[in-house]
Structures are given as C-alpha cells and as structure tokens.
Structure 1
Amino acid sequence: MFIDIVAILLSLGLLIFLAYRGYPVIIIAPLVTILAVVLSGGALLPSYTETYMTNAANYIKTFFPIFLLGAVFGKIMDMTGAAASIAHSIVRSFGQKRAILAVVFACAALTYGGVSLFVVAFAVYPFAAAIFKEAGIPKRLIPASIALGAFTFTMDSMPGTPQIQNIIPTSYFGTDAYAAPLVGLTCTLLILSVGMWWLERQRKKALLQGEGYGSHHKNEPEPIDEKTLPSFWLSIIPLLLVILFNFIFSRTPLSVRNWYDPTILENTYGIGDVGTVVSNWSLIIALTIGILAAMLINLKKIRLTLAQGLTTAATGALLAIFNTASEVGFGNVVSKLPGFSAISEWVFQASDNPILSETIAVNVLAGITGSASGGLSIALELMGSYYLQVADTMGISPELLHRFASMASGGMDTLPHNGAVITLLAITGLTHRQSYKDIFVLTIFKTAIVFLLAIIVSLFI
C-alpha cells in the first residue's frame, strides 16, 4: 500500500512541478498518469483510453460551449473597446483617493458580467497603472488589486456569476448559478472587506515609507486615447444582458427547464434530471445574446479583424478546456488506483459533514493542480454523487453543496504555479518576488473565510 500511495503523491508532485515550470498540462497530465498507473501495477492502456480519455471527453462535451462562448464574449468586449471603456469609467469615477477600490470594482463589474479573467486583467491594467501612478501607490500592489476583484468573490461567491467555477457544480448537484445566495453574498462581503483592509494597510505602509509608484518598471502600458472608446452606458449593455437573460432562463417561468417535454429528454437524449443542464443551457443563450450585443457596439471597428479575433478566442478556449479536461482525466485514473482509498480517507473523509469534507477536498485539489476549475472538477467527478447522497440523508440542501464547492475552488488555487497568477504578473511586468506576497495573503484570507463559513453553517444543519 505504501508504494501505491507514493505513486499517486509522486505523480501529483510532478504535475505541480512541471506545470509551474511552464510545461503544457495537456502533455504532462497523461504522462504523470502513466507513471502513477505503472508504479501502482495497473493496466496501462485501458487506464488511458477508457478512463482518462473517456472522462476528459465527457468534461469537454459538458463545458466546451461555456468556455468557447465566454472566450468569444470577452474577446469581442476587448476588440470593441467596451471592456476598456467600463474599466476607465469606473476607475476615473472613484478617483485617486480610492484608486485600489476603483480597480477592484472595475474588475468585479467585468467578471460578474461574464468577461473572462484574462481579458479583465488586460483591460484594467492600463487604467490601474495610470491611477496608481497619479496617486503614488506602488505598482507592486496592482496584481493583488486585480486578483481581489477578478479572482475571488465574483469568480465563485456571488450568486449568478457566469464564471465557469460557478457553473461546474450545477451538473453534479442539479442546481443553478444562483444557489445558496445568502451564503454567497456573506462570503462576498467578507472577502471584499478583509481584502480591501489588507490592501489599504499596505498602501498606507508604503506611503509612510515614501515608496511611491516606483520607476524602471517593465511593461508600462501605452496611454489609451479615451476619445476612441465607446461610451460607458453603451459598453455596459452586453454585461447587463448576460446577467439578465441568465437569470430569466434560470429562475423565471421562461426558464429553459420548461422548454422541453421531460419524457422526450429522458428517452431521446438521456437527460434524466433537466436540472443538471439548466445552468449550461441558460448561460449558452445569455452569452450568445451578449456576444451579439457587444458586436453591435462597434461593428465597423471590428469588422476587418473579427476573423482573427474569433480565432484567438477559439484557440484560448480550446487550450483552457483541454488543460482542465486533462486534469479531470488524471483525477479519474487516480481514483481507480489502489492507493487512492487511503488518501481519500484523509482528504474526502476529513469530516463526517459533507460540506466540510467537500470544502477541504476541493481546496486541496485546487491547490495541487493550481486550477480552481481543475480542482473543482476532479473533486466533484470523484465524490460529487457521494456528497449529494450523504447530504440528502442529512437533509442538507444541494444548493449549499454547490456554493461551498464553488467558493472552495477559489482558495489555494492561486498558489505560485497558478496560470492566472503567472499571466497576471506577466501582463503587469512584475515578478513573484515583487508582488506575489499580497496575492498569497488574499489567498489565505479567502481560504480561511470559506472554511469559517463552512464550519458555522455545519453547526446549524
């Protein structure tokens, strides 16, 4: 049994190390999977073709439309200048005295409206750099400010957010994007309050030391001609449409839940519980409407570059979903290995309460993989049905399972090897040494808040 456990831990360690070193997960995930199977004495080819590939393909089948439409929506918002207009308007309206809060709110507005995290970072950075320089705030605090607005509460806590971390649990628990709104809003307020307290504390500390914005920085953005940007009110329409129609098609009499005969869905398409697909269907429609609206903002401007932009978006979506699907395939193979039973007793059964157990499992796996969606998908693929069964016997709402799974995914995922963190630092021209400390503190705060809420909720159910 010892070698079986070592096989899994060694493969996980290599996955983390190689991903951190920049090797593509699409390639290294099957390689470390092979290593784990060989060391465990398992059947190599069946493990790869029937477990790894089958589960990776199932994940792609379920979530590719969301990845693709989300990437296209973000790219169109970027190409038309709508994302930049929203960021500029929010940052300028808050002013120098509230520069950090302005950046956080700009990121939050874009993320909650359905714009991908990477597009948000690109759109907000030029205006963040300008207002931080004017206010004399160290540039090293920009990544943490963007992370607080884009990588935390609007990614997984706020009810209705269209980010993939809030959509994945719907397929496992039959919930929708608005699950457990009170818990989600409580977590949102706590994260925002504690995160802003820390960043303002760092700003004041730097001010007392006379640090200022700094000089000789890399990747300083070129000034953007504000006159070329569309108006704020026009730019925000696509975001509002995504939010509005996602709600309409999820939780009103017009919900896609009521569009088709349940008998036909089950007999023809194998959909026994329409609740498992409602969030996907509603978000597909909402994002499509948002894309069309975003294109109409400045169709003349994007007409000549639309093909190139769509190609870039599609390429990014393919890379993102194949990376996550590769991790899902890896997790499913690992779950079939002999050593997994011992590890699962520690990770998945750390508590008799499914909410606490789920929170621990998702957070640990998100930290291991360096991916919120990857860790979340692996945990729910392996244990989602178990958590749902236990919760049902204890009278716990599936909505709570959804919300805590989603919130837990956005915790230790932002360790140094996280792709979003690496990309954010590259965009801003900063290094881990310069800026990661504050991102890590926010990571600890986020993780602690979710665990605290999980413990409190567990005491009252």
Structure 2
Amino acid sequence: MSFVVALTALAFLMLAAYRGHSVILFAPLASLFAVLLADPSAVAPVFSGIFMEKMVGFLKLYFPVFLLGAVFGKVIELSGFSESIVAAAVRYIGKSRVNLVIVFVCALLTYGGVSLFVVVFAVYPFAAELYRKSGIPKRLLPGPIALGAFTFTMDALPGTPQIQNIIPSTFFKTTGWAAPWLGVVGAVFIAVVGLIFLEWRRRKVMETGEGYGTSLLNEPEGVEASGLPNPFLAVAPLILVGVSNFALTKYLPYFYGANFSVPPDVLPGIHAPIAVSIKTVTATWAVEGALLVGIVFVMLTAYGRVRARFAAGTRTAVAGALLAAMNTASEYGFGGVIAALPGFVIVGEALKSIPNPLINSAVTVSALAGITGSASGGMSIALASMSETFIREAAAARIPLDVLHRVVAMASGGMDSLPHNGAVITLLAVTGLTHRQSYREIFAITIIKTFAVLFVIAAYYATGIV
C-alpha cells in the first residue's frame, strides 16, 4: 500500500505538470497528500522540516545562478549577439542544419562547465531566432536544447564538470574521466540518434505547412538587422563564460583554501565568525563569477545597443529567473518528501534483487532519478544507500569501478526527465511553451538517453573497452 501511495503522488504531479498547472502549487500538495495517507499527524512537520528545508536549501545554493543566467541570456539577446550568431549560422551552415547548430552550442557550454539551467537561458534567444528565420515551428525547439544540454555532455563525455559526473567519484573513488572510451561511445550514440530523430520530426512537421507560430509567449526581442556585431564577437561571451568557469573552478580553492572564515572584527555587526567550506561552494561561485564576467563583457562591447532596453529587459529576466528557480526548488522539495516515504524504501529494496551489477545500478539510479525528478538527487539517494552493494557486486564480477561510474552517471540522466523534472519545467518556462505542445520531443530524447545506457553496457560486455 505504501508503494501505491508514493506512485500515486508521483503520477498526480506528472499529470498536473503535463496539463500546465503550476508545479510550485502542486508539488507540495502531491507530496503532503502522500504523507497524509501515511500518517496525518506528520503532514505539518514534514512540510516544515523536509519540504521547505529542501526547497529553501535549493534556492540558497542556486538562485543566483538562475538570476545571473537569465540576465546573461537577456543581454545576449538585447545586444544583437544572438541575431548575429543566427545570421552567421544560416549563412555558413544553412537552414536545414539548425538543430545541429543548437545542439553544438548547448554541448559546448555544458561541457565547458556552464550549468544546464544557465545554458537554457543563454541559448534560447538565438535558438528561437534561428527557428523563426528558418520557419521551423517553435514547439519543436525544446528538443534540440534538451539534447545538447541535458544528455551526452551532462554525464556521458569523459571529463565533463557537470555534477552528475562528479557525484559517482566520491563513492567509487574514481575521477570525472572514468571509462573514457565507453563515455565517448555513449555520447556518439546519443548525439547521432538524437539528431536523426529531431531532423525526422522537423521534416514531418514542416511538410504540413506549419510555420514558426503566432501569439507565442516569451519571444526574444528583435533587434535591427543592419549593422549586426561580428559573429566572432557575438560568440565570444559564450566561450568566455565556459573558460572563466573552468579557470575559477581551479583558482578559487587556491585563493580561499579548504575553509574560509570572516571574523567579527571585519564585520562588527555579526556575533560569530562566518565559516564557509569552499569545496561545497566552488562550483556555484565559479559559475556565478563566470556569468558576471560574461555580462560585463557584453555590456562593454555592446553598451549602445543594450542601454535603452536594459531596465525593461532585466525586469523580464528577473521574473523568468524567479519562476524557473521556484519551479525547480518545489520539485526538489517534492523529491525530498517522497524519498522519506515507506514506499520509496520498498522500491529501493526491490531493485537490489536485480542480479547483473551494471543493469542493477543502471535501473536503480534511473528509477530513483525518475521518481524524484532529479538526476543528481536520485543518484545521490541511490549511491548513499546502495554504493557498497554495487561495489561488492562489481568486484565479484571483475567489473572496473570506472565502468560502474560511467554507467551510473549516464543512468541518472535518463528517466529523470519525466514531466515533473525541474530542468524540463525550466526549459518549457523559458521558451514559453507547455508540456502539451513540446514534451513529445523531450520524452523521445529521454528514451534515447535511457537506451544509450543499455548500449554502453552491451558495448562493454562485447568488447571489454573502458
């Protein structure tokens, strides 16, 4: 019965999200309804002690990233840089390859260390313009953004700095470069199959005569087509953000050390030192600093274009950042509550019965990521409770932990992108689209990503490559 309660809460939230209802409202309702069925007296304590703690904790860590990412995307749009990139892409690559361009830019940023949420904000303005100029229906746009940002550069390619590739290393004592050849095999599979699917969908939809669309929401503001910035200048802030993020990730720990404390004699208004563990904030500080560098670069090089519409544009960006952050934070709170339910524990125990260690780890992580709506959250829960079992079974089967690392990382980014996933909701909110309009393509990418894990496992057993 407890398993049915957890599953019902998940199904209810997925249905609400798909029908366009606010996840900010329905995530707490769905999770607390499940708690009500388990123990009515626990509803209020769980709401304050788990849901709100998780939600506020997420905002504390990541809201600045959402805010700066939204502002960065807006100034890229207002400066004409996005229009310049579009014009150059159409001129040199052609209208028939727009999906390849979008996937490549998203992949470049995420592999460079830019948060996938930030990539959505940064890429959307020029991707929308590219679709509009090519006459491709906007409702197909989330597909290539999801493929480029949420899949192979997130957890398949070796060395990616995304958190989904870092979490397994703390449990398996591996590095982000674990199983490089298997990672490349998986990345190629996802990119090739994903692009083939997106191109098939584009041709099929455009054969009906459907255009870009009208009466659309959150459309990028147009800029004057004459005198566009040089495309090399236009793409420079995107590259600069990635390079700055990499540099700050390496430099901040050297500057601050392992821990940093601000004593009361520096800030007389505080009564105790402010102590910060630098390791826990390096990634977010690096992204925030990199985005500030990108914003300043755009303002310095395109101040004349941005100045007149900066106030109105940033108001819109801030509103979008608030909505996206609250959506994702509510999802995080939902996942925290569901993970505490008895039914969730039953699911975890049942998954342990799968005999093959690689299949076991892949199914377990993917299932828990799907239930929580979070790749990192589901993987963290799975490894915290089952990593020793995975390691023991892999050792018995003589499977290197590097292979286990790569399989677990890739599995986390498969079924996590169900309708209630925070990244999916953020992507749709930023693009001004709904699940009903655009989720079909996102779900197809989810299926491709999930099959890629099985493909990598099969490739390992067939060839032994690592």
Are the aligned partners of 2:261 and 2:274 in contact in 1 as well (CA < 8 Å)?
yes
Question: Residue 305 of structure 1: SS of its match in structure 2?
Answer: helix
In 2: Cα distance, 1:406 partner to 1:172 partner: 7
Are the aligned partners of 2:376 and 2:412 in contact in 1 as well (CA < 8 Å)?
no
In 1: Cα distance, 2:330 partner to 2:303 partner: 37
Question: Which residue number corresponds to residue 257 of structure 1?
Answer: 253
In 1: Cα distance, 2:133 partner to 2:259 partner: 58
Are the aligned partners of 1:158 and 1:188 in contact in 2 as well (CA < 8 Å)?
yes
Matches within 5 A, 1:191-270: 191-200=190-199, 211=207, 213-214=209-210, 218=214, 225-251=224-250, 255-262=251-258, 264=260, 269=275
Question: Which residue number corresponds to residue 124 of structure 1?
Answer: 127
TM-score by length of 1: 0.76
Q: Is the alpha carbon distance of 1:87 and 1:359 closer, same or farther for their aligned partners in structure 2, counting shifts above 3 Å? A: farther
Code of the residue aligned with 1:329 in structure 2: it is G
Give structure 1 stretches of 5+ with no counterpart. none
Question: Which residue number corresponds to residue 419 of structure 1?
Answer: 425
Question: Which residue number corresponds to residue 364 of structure 1?
Answer: 367
Question: Residue 116 of structure 1: SS of its match in structure 2?
Answer: helix
Give structure 2 stretches of 5+ with no counterpart. 263-272
Code of the residue aligned with 1:88 in structure 2: it is A
Question: Which residue number corresponds to residue 51 of structure 2?
Answer: 52
Question: Which residue number corresponds to residue 39 of structure 1?
Answer: 37
Task: For residues 287-320 of structure 1, give each alpha carbon's deviation from its aligned partner in whole angstroms, at most 9, with x where no partner exists.
Answer: 2212211222311222233233333333322322
Question: Residue 304 of structure 1: SS of its match in structure 2?
Answer: helix
Q: Is the alpha carbon distance of 1:215 and 1:96 closer, same or farther for their aligned partners in structure 2, counting shifts above 3 Å? A: closer
Q: Is the alpha carbon distance of 1:430 and 1:383 closer, same or farther for their aligned partners in structure 2, counting shifts above 3 Å? A: closer
Are the aligned partners of 2:260 and 2:275 in contact in 1 as well (CA < 8 Å)?
yes
CA RMSD of aligned residues (A): 4.2
Code of the residue aligned with 2:257 in structure 1: it is D
The answer on 1:30 being equivalent to 2:59 is no
In 1: Cα distance, 2:7 partner to 2:435 partner: 32
Task: For residues 21-75 of structure 1, give each alpha carbon's deviation from its aligned partner in whole angstroms, at most 9, with x where no partner exists.
Answer: 2221121111112211110126222211112222222222222332222222222
Question: Which residue number corresponds to residue 342 of structure 2?
Answer: 338
Deviation at 1:99, TM superposition (A): 5.0
Q: Is the alpha carbon distance of 1:193 and 1:270 closer, same or farther for their aligned partners in structure 2, counting shifts above 3 Å? A: same
In 2: Cα distance, 1:294 partner to 1:452 partner: 42
Are the aligned partners of 2:55 and 2:330 in contact in 1 as well (CA < 8 Å)?
yes
Question: Which residue number corresponds to residue 445 of structure 1?
Answer: 448
Q: Is the alpha carbon distance of 1:337 and 1:206 closer, same or farther for their aligned partners in structure 2, counting shifts above 3 Å? A: closer
Deviation at 1:94, TM superposition (A): 0.9
Question: Which residue number corresponds to residue 375 of structure 2?
Answer: 376
Q: Is the alpha carbon distance of 1:397 and 1:104 closer, same or farther for their aligned partners in structure 2, counting shifts above 3 Å? A: same
Are the aligned partners of 1:111 and 1:120 in contact in 2 as well (CA < 8 Å)?
no
Code of the residue aligned with 1:83 in structure 2: it is S
Deviation at 1:232, TM superposition (A): 0.8
- Select the residue among 293, 304, 311 that pairs with 2:315: 311
Question: Which residue number corresponds to residue 270 of structure 2?
Answer: none
Task: For residues 202-256 of structure 1, give each alpha carbon's deviation from its aligned partner in whole angstroms, at most 9, with x where no partner exists.
Answer: 677899xxx37546954699997532432111111111211212222335xxx32
In 1: Cα distance, 2:436 partner to 2:295 partner: 34
Code of the residue aligned with 1:360 in structure 2: it is V
Question: Which residue number corresponds to residue 296 of structure 2?
Answer: 292
Q: Which moved more, 1:213-222 or 1:77-86?
A: 213-222
In 2: Cα distance, 1:225 partner to 1:305 partner: 13
Q: Is the alpha carbon distance of 1:303 and 1:315 closer, same or farther for their aligned partners in structure 2, counting shifts above 3 Å? A: same
Q: Is the alpha carbon distance of 1:430 and 1:248 closer, same or farther for their aligned partners in structure 2, counting shifts above 3 Å? A: closer
TM-score by length of 2: 0.76
Amino-acid identity (%):
36
Matches within 5 A, 1:93-132: 93-96=92-95, 98=97, 100-106=99-105, 108-109=107-108, 114=114, 116-131=119-134
The answer on 1:187 being equivalent to 2:186 is yes
Code of the residue aligned with 2:71 in structure 1: it is V
In 1: Cα distance, 2:174 partner to 2:145 partner: 27
Question: Residue 323 of structure 2: SS of its match in structure 1?
Answer: helix
